[in-house]
Amino acid sequence: MEKDIRVPQKKVVPAALAFLAVFSAAINLRAGIASLGPVLSQTLSAFHASGSLAGVLTAMPGLFFALMGILAVSLAFRFGISRTLTFGMGLTLLGLVVRPLVGSISIFLVMTALVVSGIALSNVLLPAWIKAHGGRNVVALMTIHGSVLGLSGALGPLSALLFEWQGALLVWALPALLQFLVWLWVLFFSPHDSPKHQTDSASDHSPSSGENISLWRSRTAVFLMLFFGLQSMTAYIQMGWLPQMYTDAGISAQLASIAIALVGGMNVIGGLVMPTIIDRAPTLAPLPLAFGIFTALGYLGILFVPQTAPLLWALLLGIGGFCFPTALALIPARTRSPLVTARLSGFVQPLGYIVAALGPLLVGIFYQHAGTWTGILWALILCAVAMSAVGLRASRSVYIDDELAAAKQKLLA
């Protein structure tokens, strides 16, 4: 997960293709996951499966994002960033095509694992690919990445308004196919972008370089990992359980689908504005605090007056969800080199998703036994407060490369 790696570039990926590649990848980063929440009860009923599996299904994204994220940098080291990304996209395509057509819940679970495993590789490696191949367009490509990822999360639940559960899941195989074809084209320009060991590099032995120092020695990296984990846990609880919270409060399933789509739609706006704000703002300290307050207010509305203004509570949660594009944009913004960007992405996302995976699973267990959302919503409000606190530290205007270099100098002193 923390290999000393560099990305040699032998061919330049055309700017137009880079934009198309990032767009096609980002539009698939959430839809295959977010489309399951609104049809979760239908899906389990179709398989005559126990309701306890709901917690497993909603926890799978975070769990497999963590597992595959740990492997992502090592796979990229061996096979190349572009090849690993394309392989993951093939896994996602296979899972999306097969899982609505199977007759066994166990096979459905395996296919869902393929979907989220492929997406996990893109989660970790796409920022490093952008840093390596984006050239002057890194900020613009990260803007597309964050905003279209939010669009993916917004569109995913809407398929439940048009189709029964099988069609609602199967429809997302089409953009996955287009993504796979685009990245086969990308491979023509970047087939050899494997990170390489630099054992003879002077930077490995220079006191000014910290690229081979553990990221645990960077406080900013650690707080960014915690920030990413808490906001991801909140996001995946929302994707998996917010429709159920609404329907249990007497709100229609259609309005619940619109509400979760609104939450994802706000991520589009966040993805559009946050990379530029992070790149230009002298300080980001007020932003995590504000996003945490909006998140807490959204949960308080659902807790006390869910039927009064359900779309308002979803809107507040969506604004609070700006934490997600903020965390993503901070990965390349707080690093100087593609090497450290890849290491940071491979550090922040897997460990963060371990935290994230626990949330939906615990929610499922608690909800099955308690049958009420009151305790869960209070816990989520506390998580919003904690998210603000760690976000304040993670957003400091420092380079993680510099923190690692300083750590190395201390070790050599």
Rounded (5°) CA angle 260-266-270: 145
**How many angstroms separate the CA atoms of 86 and 125, rounded?**
11
3-class SS of residue 36: coil
Per residue in 221-239, pLDDT (tens digit) is 999 999 988 988 888 788 7
Distance CA 402, CA 409 (A): 11
CA distance 119 to 156: 14
Which residue in the block uniquely carries the two structure tokens 């036994």? Answer: 369
**Identity of the highest mean pLDDT range in 17-21, 126-130, 208-212, 350-354:** 17-21
Instruction: State the average pLDDT for the chain.
Output: 84
Q: The domain at 15-195+213-412 falls in which architecture?
A: Up-down Bundle (1.20)
pLDDT at 17: 93
Q: In Å, what is the CA distance from 141 to each residue of 133, 260, 356, 363? A: 10, 26, 26, 35
Predicted TM-score of the model (pTM): 0.69
**C-alpha span between 237 and 373 (Å, rounded):** 12
Q: Helices (DSSP H) in 249-309: which residue ranges? A: 253-280, 286-304
| Cα separation, 94 vs 25, whole angstroms | 15
pLDDT on residue 51 = 67
How many residues are listed for the chain in this entry? 413
What are 284-306's pLDDT values in tens digits? 778 888 999 999 999 999 999 99
Which of helix, strand or coil describes residue 35?
A: coil
